[in-house]
Structure 1
Amino acid sequence: MQQNGQGLAADEQVFLKRMADLARRASQKGIWTLSAFGSPRETELARIAAKRESMSVHAYGGFPGAERVRVLFADAPDVAHDAYEIACLTVTCSVQDHMTHGQVLGSILGLGLNRDVLGDLLVTGNTAHVFCTEAIKPFLLSTLSRVGPHAVHVVEARESLVLQGTFENWEEHQFTVSSLRLDAFLAHAFSMSRSKAVEPIHAGLVQVNHRVRVDPAFTLREGDVISLRGFGRAKVIELAGTSKKGRLVIRAGRLRSN
C-alpha cells in the first residue's frame, strides 16, 4: 500500500483524508480526537494518517482482539478504555433459536443507523453481544425489539464480561507451512487442498483484513484475519517458530459462519 494515497480506492482516499483531519486537529489543538468504528483496513489507514501528522494513535474495540475498533488520536503513551466511549449490549432472542450475524446487523441497520456506529457483533445461538458507540446506546436499548422474525430483549452487558473479553471462541490449532502464502494458509485453516484453496481466492471470495485479495501468493502476517465467504474466518494468531525441517509453525484460530 502506498502511503502517499496513490493506489488507494476512491473511498479509501476519502477515509484517509478524514482521518488526517482528525489527527491534525489533535496535533494542532492539543486535544484527543476519536473516530467512529472502522474495519482493520480503515484502522491501517488511520495509522498512516497519524504518522503523517506525527501524532500518536491508539485503537480499541471494546474487548481484546476486536476487529472493528475506534481510533483515538492522542499525544499520550496510554489511554484508558473508557476514553473510547464504547458500550456493549446483550441481545437475547425470546425463543431458543439461532440468530445469525446477518440478521442482527440487518435489524440494527434497518433502524436507520450507519455501520460505523457499530463495532463487532458476536453471535452465539440465541444471544448476541453488540458493541456500539456510547452515543447510540440509549437508542438501541429503547428501539431494537426484533431480530429477524423473533422478539429480542436488549440490556447493557455486564462490565466484567467486557473487561474479560469472553466473547469470541476461536478454535485454535497448529500446523506448518513452507511460507505464509495466502493459499497455503487457507488450505490448512479450512481443511482443503491447496489447489482447491486457489479457486475462491481467484473468485474474489477471500478477504484479508476486510480487503479482497485475489493473489494466492499474497504474504500474510501475524495478526491477519482471513475471511472465506460461506466458511467463516481464520486468524494468524502467532508465528510460533520453525520446525526441524525448516517449515514455519503457525498457531491459527478459526471462527465458523453463523
Structure 2
Amino acid sequence: MSVYQHFRKDEHAFVDQVMEWKETAIEQYRSKLTDFLDPRQQYIVQSLVGQNDEVAVSFYGGYKEAERKRCLIYPHYVEPVTEDYDIALYELLYPTKFVQIEHREILGALMNVGLKREKFGDILNSAERFQIVLAKEVAEFVSWNLKSVGKARVSLQVVPIEESISVTKEYSYLHITASSLRLDTIVAEVYKLSRSKVKPMIENGYIKVNWKVIEDPSFSLQIKDVLSVRGKGRCEIVSNEGQTKKNKFRLSVAFPK
C-alpha cells in the first residue's frame, strides 16, 4: 500500500520531504528542525512520523495558540526545549499617533523584502501593537531590511519570546454533510451559497486553500485544510466524522471568532 494514496498529488513532494526528515533523524540520531508549517502540513508530518517507535515529533510557533509552527523531529531520548525551535520574536515600532497599519500590509512587506513565507510564523496583534514570529536564521536580515509597512516607516525590536502578545483564539464550529469533498461543494455548504455562485468565485481566484489560490472547482479538500473566501472569512476543516447511510461526508468545520 503506497503512502501517497492518503494525500493529494500536489502534496507528494512534501510527503517525500517529510520521509527524508524522518530518515535523517533515525539514521543520524539527531533532531531535524523544519521551517514554519501550516496546519495541513503539520497534519501530514504528524500522520507520517507521529506514531514512530524511533523518533517523535513536536511543534512550536512561539506561543501556545500559534497557527503556523516549526516542527522538530527528534530521537525519543531527546527532550526538546523552547530554544531548539530557533524562533525569534520582534515588535514592530512605528508612529502609532500618525499612521495605522494592518496585518495584510505587514505580510506584504515581509514578502517584498524577499522573505519566503515558510521563514516566518504568525503576526500577532493587540490594538496598535504588532509582533512578528521569525525563524532565527533570517531574523537579522529582516531587522535590517524591513523599513516600511504601507505608508509607515518602521523598525523592529527584539523581545523575549515569553513576552509575546497574549492571544486567545476562540472558535465556533459547524457540522455539515456534503455529497463530496470537492471545493465547490464544501464552500457552498459551509457558506450557504449556491454552487452556481461558488464556481465563478473559484475560477476568478476569490478562494484560497492553505493560503494558495485554487481555481479548480473540483479540487479535493482534506482534513486540516484552511479555506479563505474573499469577503466571507476563513475556516478550517477540522475532522471527517465518517459517512452517512447515503454516503455523504460528515465534516466538522471551525471558524475563528
Q: TM-score, normalised by structure 1?
A: 0.69
Q: Map 1:92-111; keep pairs closer than 5 Å.
A: 92-96=93-97, 97-111=99-113
The alpha-carbon distance between structure 1 residues 90 and 17, as it changes in their structure 2 partners (threshold 3 A), is same
1:45 shift after superposition:
4.1
Contact 2:88/2:161 (<8 A) preserved:
no
Contact 1:20/1:49 (<8 A) preserved:
yes
1:150 shift after superposition:
0.8
Give unmatched runs, 5+ long, in structure 1.
Answer: 240-247
Is 1:31 the equivalent of 2:69?
no
1:65 shift after superposition:
3.4
The alpha-carbon distance between structure 1 residues 86 and 173, as it changes in their structure 2 partners (threshold 3 A), is same
Instruction: Report SS of the residue matched to 1:79.
Output: coil
**Structure 2 equivalent of residue 243 of structure 1:** none
The alpha-carbon distance between structure 1 residues 20 and 253, as it changes in their structure 2 partners (threshold 3 A), is same
Contact 2:123/2:132 (<8 A) preserved:
yes
**Structure 2 equivalent of residue 205 of structure 1:** 206
Contact 2:65/2:167 (<8 A) preserved:
no
The alpha-carbon distance between structure 1 residues 34 and 217, as it changes in their structure 2 partners (threshold 3 A), is closer
The alpha-carbon distance between structure 1 residues 189 and 160, as it changes in their structure 2 partners (threshold 3 A), is farther
Give unmatched runs, 5+ long, in structure 2.
Answer: 241-249
Q: Distance in 1 between matches of 2:150 and 2:176?
A: 42
Superimposed CA distance per residue, residues 105-127 of structure 1 (whole angstroms, 9 cap, x where no aligned partner): 23223333322221122356643
Contact 1:34/1:84 (<8 A) preserved:
yes
Superimposed CA distance per residue, residues 135-171 of structure 1 (whole angstroms, 9 cap, x where no aligned partner): 2223333442321221124222454443xx723655x
Letter in 1 for 2:89: C
Instruction: Report SS of the residue matched to 1:64.
Output: coil
Q: Distance in 2 between matches of 1:52 and 1:119?
A: 26
Identity of aligned residues (%): 21
The alpha-carbon distance between structure 1 residues 72 and 160, as it changes in their structure 2 partners (threshold 3 A), is closer
Is 1:62 the equivalent of 2:62?
yes
Contact 2:39/2:67 (<8 A) preserved:
yes
Letter in 1 for 2:65: G
Instruction: Report SS of the residue matched to 2:140.
Output: helix
**Structure 2 equivalent of residue 89 of structure 1:** 90
